[in-house]
Amino acid sequence: MSIENPIFRTEDLCAYYGDFMAIKHVTMSIPEKKVTAFMGPSGCGKTTILRCLNRLHELTPGAWYSGKIFLRDQDILEMDPILVRRKVGMVFQKPNPFPTMTIYDNVLAGYKLLGIRLKKEEADRICEEALRKAALWDEVKDILHRRGTFLSGGQQQRLCIARALAVNPEVLLMDEPTSALDPKATLQIENLIVDLKNTVTIIIVTHNMPQAGRVSDYSAFFYLGELVEFGPTAEMFTNPKDPRTEEYLTGKFS
Amino acid sequence: MNNTNNVRYQWRRTKNQIILATIAVLAIIPAIPLFVILFQLFQKGISSLSIDFFLNLPAPPGEPGGGIKNAIVGTFIIVGLASLMGVPISIMAGIYLSEYGKESKFAHLVRMCADIFQGVPSIVIGIIAYAWVVKPLGKFSALAGSVALAIMMIPVVVRTTEEVLRLVPNILREASLALGVPYWRTVLKVVLPTGMVGVTTGVLIAVARIAGETAPLLFTAFGNPFMTYNPLEPMNALPLLIFNYSMSPYEDWWQQAWGASIVLITIVLLLNIASRILARRVAGEK
């Protein structure tokens, strides 16, 4: 299936940990301003490929890639990883606000840690905007100068989303963002993902198929490092083309 | 049948209590010397403590009065200079081991050297400082003492810094890197501040350790009965004063050595307590 004007396009992407090939010859296109879900059983490589997209994969000792990953027209494997990560933000499995910083500073961490000086009004505006986008503003607007770690797990995760959004990334990668959260917080994050897709392209790794069904427009199913199937979520869930996808969706293995 | 079971149960209970009591006694024994020492110190030395004792300079033998002001000031100058030299190097080395060297051969070598260095007798370090500083400068000096103490504190601070920074969760490094922050900035602005309390604890422990060292100062700082603030001159320090006074033939100097011991042990205890409070804060944050 072909995607018009994809934001990400991989060509024969392979990712390795030493001798182990975790991603095998993946060629795929990710549509812009949509939510794409990466699904698959544990160890299928979905997190690995997500971490290729912002070059975090290479931080693991012994990890390397082959192939190409285009962000629009630029091969990010040829770019400075720092520039890639400015354009491709990430939210992690466990909420990880910086424990030494206030809520306010956490949101602005993308600027402060880089030593970019903002005017007070500018900083306030970016902070409020990011927190509003992350649906956290109303809960924290009076406690901006408390530590980020003081918040509940779900609030911390939305704080991390705000932190990623504050630097205006083109793509937001989410690595099982709700797996450490309770059902209510999970629902809030899911609603937030649906709201955000107008402003930013989202790629979400999830273990949870109903969640993929609720939030994503497109789905990719990985199995043992291979991309088995890619297509509109509704189509894949109702009419999977590959027997392995069908077996996974019907719970024959997980 | 029931009866024998009950007897056995009673015997097991008694055994348990005997062993518990034995362990409790054994646990108290190591604490006894500390309290005996503290008790004896205060018993013998408390009478020399007075405001004059802190504010006056030593009196010549035979004259009554006299204080230990120069030794207190000297200890602070020598230990302060040692920290100024030792702490930045140690923290940078600790950062290197935890964030850059990791499992490399060179890092293992540095680690091994630090561990071996911790075991080098302090008198040997004094000799090294004598050869490095006293000989070339041609005289004893506080600086030479500080160099000796800095060498002593470096391995301790290097290893604690490394251990503490390793405890900083990796997801915080990744969070920063994912924002497009370069690695060196991540280390300086995220990893180091997160581990700062622990690093400070390590520094305090090291300072407490070197503050009481006598051997490295014997032929470096040497001691000085007069007041001096010049680190290039021989300088007095509390451990040196205690050593010299207790070796002297004058009874009132012995008395003052007891008093100086109280001052020294109080400084060391306060540093240890401060490091414990900080360490508890680290534990509380996790």
Q: Which of B173, B179, B282 to mutate to test the interface with A (most CBs of A within 10 A)?
A: B179
pLDDT score for A209: 87
* Phi, psi of B179, rounded to the nearest 5 degrees: -85, 0
Per the rule left: phi > 0, alpha: psi between -120 and 50, beta: everything else, A250 is alpha
CA distance B116 to B110: 10
Query: What value does the mean pLDDT of chain A take?
Result: 92
Amino acid found at A154: G
Cα separation of A186 and A47, whole Å?
19
Asked, for residue A142, whether it belongs to a domain, the answer is: yes
Q: State the pLDDT confidence band at B270, using cuts at 50, 70 and 90.
A: very high
Q: Which of A89, A92, A113 sits opposite B185 (nearest CB)?
A: A113
pLDDT score of B6: 85
For residue A146, give its domain range.
Answer: 6-250
Averaged pLDDT, A170-193? 92
Residue with the two structure tokens 């581990």? B195
pLDDT of the residue at A251: 79
Please name the helix (run of DSSP H) or strand (run of DSSP E) that holds residue B16, with its range, or none. Answer: helix B2-28
Residue A12 in this model has a pLDDT that exceeds 50: yes
Please say whether the dihedral angle defined by the alpha carbons of residues A117, A122, A124 and A129, taken in this order, is positive or negative.
negative
Total-model pTM: 0.85
Q: Nearest CA to A90 among A175, A27, A168?
A: A175
Could you give the number of structural domains in chain A? 1
From A90, which residue of chain B is nearest by alpha-carbon distance? Answer: B178
Q: Are A50 and A73 in contact (CB under 8 A)?
A: no
> Does residue A73 sit in helix, strand or coil?
coil
Closest residue on chain B to A53 (Cα): B178
The torsion angles phi and psi of B209, rounded to 5 degrees, stand at -70, -45
Q: Looking at beta carbons, which residues of chain B come within 8 Å of A164? A: 178-179
Chain A residues lying within 8 Å of B194, measured CB to CB: 98-100
| Greatest Cα-to-Cα distance within chain A, rounded to the nearest angstrom | 57
Provide the CATH number for the domain around residue A20: 3.40.50.300
Residue A189 placed within a domain: yes
Q: Are the C-beta atoms of A49 and A23 separated by less than 8 Å?
A: yes
Where is B247: in which H helix or E strand? helix B238-247
pLDDT in tens, A201-253: 999 999 888 899 999 999 999 999 999 999 999 999 999 999 999 888 887 76
Of B182, B189, B194, the CB nearest to A82: B182
Across chain B, mean pLDDT equals: 92
Strands A171-175 and A201-205: parallel
Which pLDDT tens digit goes with each residue over B63-105? Answer: 878 889 999 999 999 999 999 999 999 999 999 999 999 889 9
Token pair in block for residue B238: 């509390």
Contact list, A115 vs chain B (CB under 8 Å): 185
Q: Would you list which residues of chain A are within 8 Å, Cβ to Cβ, of chain B?
A: 54, 56, 59, 61, 82-86, 89-90, 92, 94, 96-100, 109-110, 112-115, 160, 163-164, 167
Say if residues B41 and B261 touch (Cβ distance below 8 Å): yes
pLDDT in the model for residue A1? 58
CA B150 to CA B78: how far, in whole Å? 10
pLDDT digit string, tens, across residues A51-105: 999 999 999 989 999 999 999 989 999 999 999 999 999 999 999 999 999 999 9
- Count CB atoms within 10 A of the CB of residue B86: 26
- Nearest partner of B127 among B211, B212, B215, B206, judged by Cα: B215
> What is the pLDDT at residue B1?
54
Q: If pLDDT is split at 50, 70 and 90, which confidence band does B286 have?
A: very low
